[in-house]
Amino acid sequence: MNTIFKNLMLGLLIFGFSCSSSSDETFTDSPPLNDTPKDPTSFKIAIVSDSFEGEDFIVVGSEGWNFMVAYKTMANGKTHSFDAVKGSLPVVMTDEEGSNYNIFGLAVDGVNEGTQLTPMNAFMGYWFSWGTFYPGLEIFDSSIPLQNAGGGVQGNNGWLVPRDQVFVGALKDAIPAIDDPQFTSPKDEGLVANLKDDALVIGVLLENEARAYPHFIMNWHEIVNDKIGNTYFSVVFCPLTGTATVWNRVINNQATTFGVSGFLYNSNVVPYDRNTDSNWSQMLQLSVQGQLQNTPSQNLFVLETSVETWKTITTASKILSTNTGFNREYGLNPYGSYPTNSAVNFPVNFTDTRLHPKERVLGVLVNGKAKAYRFISFK
């Protein structure tokens, strides 16, 4: 019996500890593409001219430099045409009159120096989120048959969206927005300084001041209420849809702040404004419930790119500090392998299987319709 006893105990212990799970989550924040060029000297920049819903615009992008931005082609009453410029970041293109434009759409020399191109309403996001919010959307330069064309949903129960498709992901403010953001230079703070070149940041340029909000911090907070000069804005990032937007937070002449309601619609963050408690949809870009229902968000230009690109295109840039006022393990991605796997955590209205659910695409919105652009078009 003693032998049985000893063996049983030993077996229990060995089995028990061999089942220990590891907490060493690998920090990943890259799109699920495995052929992205790694050598900056080989990075290409390309431009596509397009027209959608009667709007003429260009999309400038680079797979290697990891950005896509879209601007209207008409500026100061003239319609311009553009060619890509390689190897001169932040300059990315030149117009037919020889003026060079930086990645923020500003002509930096030539006869059109000082001309600011008007950004399109566009932002990056995981493919599945564009597919569910804008069913049947077209993909640029793609011959794959459309899916879910003509699909749509109706709001109910006081919401502009189907209330039974709004889910509680967490309690209100359980994901705390940053209301007093601190910034650091890219070299000054451990985790920020050690960011991998391909780590993603959300870039904002307002009143000539550039600020970057790294995904690895935004994953934990989703919203930063910030101010540059007289511009009050909120950076809103949804880790589940990979979407980053920047909203003017002066609404009806009153500055407000946004918080994380904890609700999810189509797996996308639902911010709430703290003045009225109204709930907003990030990807629909309007308030979907509450006093401000139907009020559209005022969208500011946002550039989502790699930290390597951001450092290259900005000088004296400030990066959001991990000194957020909250104690979090910022070196750990709370979403694990979610950014690269094929899982969608919460139910969505439409599933579009034309692309990998987590492929990052640029969505351009015109008149409530969207068109998607892939990095593959900018190789």
Which stretches of the chain bind other proteins, using CB under 8 A?
1, 5, 8-9, 12-13, 15-17, 19-25, 157, 163-164, 166-174, 176, 179, 259, 263, 274, 289, 326-329, 332, 334-338, 341-347
Q: How far is CA 334 from CA 221, 234, 252, 271, in A?
A: 11, 22, 36, 19
The string over 153-169, giving b where at least 16 C-beta atoms fall within 10 Å of a residue's C-beta and e elsewhere, is eeeeeebbbeeebbeeb
Q: CB-wise, 61 or 169, nearer to other proteins?
A: 169
Shortest separation between residue 24's beta carbon and other proteins, angstroms: 8
Shortest separation between residue 135's beta carbon and other proteins, angstroms: 16
Shortest separation between residue 239's beta carbon and other proteins, angstroms: 9
Q: CB-wise, 280 or 301, nearer to other proteins?
A: 280
Q: CB-wise, 40 or 176, nearer to other proteins?
A: 176
The string over 188-207, giving b where at least 16 C-beta atoms fall within 10 Å of a residue's C-beta and e elsewhere, is ebeebeebeebbbbbbbbbe
Shortest separation between residue 340's beta carbon and other proteins, angstroms: 10
Cis peptide leading into residue 181 (ω within 30°)? no
What residues does 74 pair with on adjacent strands? 79
Give the whole-angstrom CA distance, residue 49 versus residue 126.
Answer: 23
Shortest separation between residue 264's beta carbon and other proteins, angstroms: 10
Shortest separation between residue 228's beta carbon and other proteins, angstroms: 22
Q: CB-wise, 104 or 216, nearer to other proteins?
A: 216
Closest CA to 163 of 349, 344, 296, 343: 349
Q: How far is CA 138 from CA 59, 101, 120, 267, 374, in A?
A: 15, 28, 17, 21, 11
Query: Computed over its alpha carbons, how large is the radius of gyration of the chain?
Result: 22
Q: CB-wise, 140 or 350, nearer to other proteins?
A: 350
Q: CB-wise, 237 or 338, nearer to other proteins?
A: 338
Q: CB-wise, 142 or 341, nearer to other proteins?
A: 341
Shortest separation between residue 19's beta carbon and other proteins, angstroms: 5
Closest CA to 235 of 139, 304, 170: 304
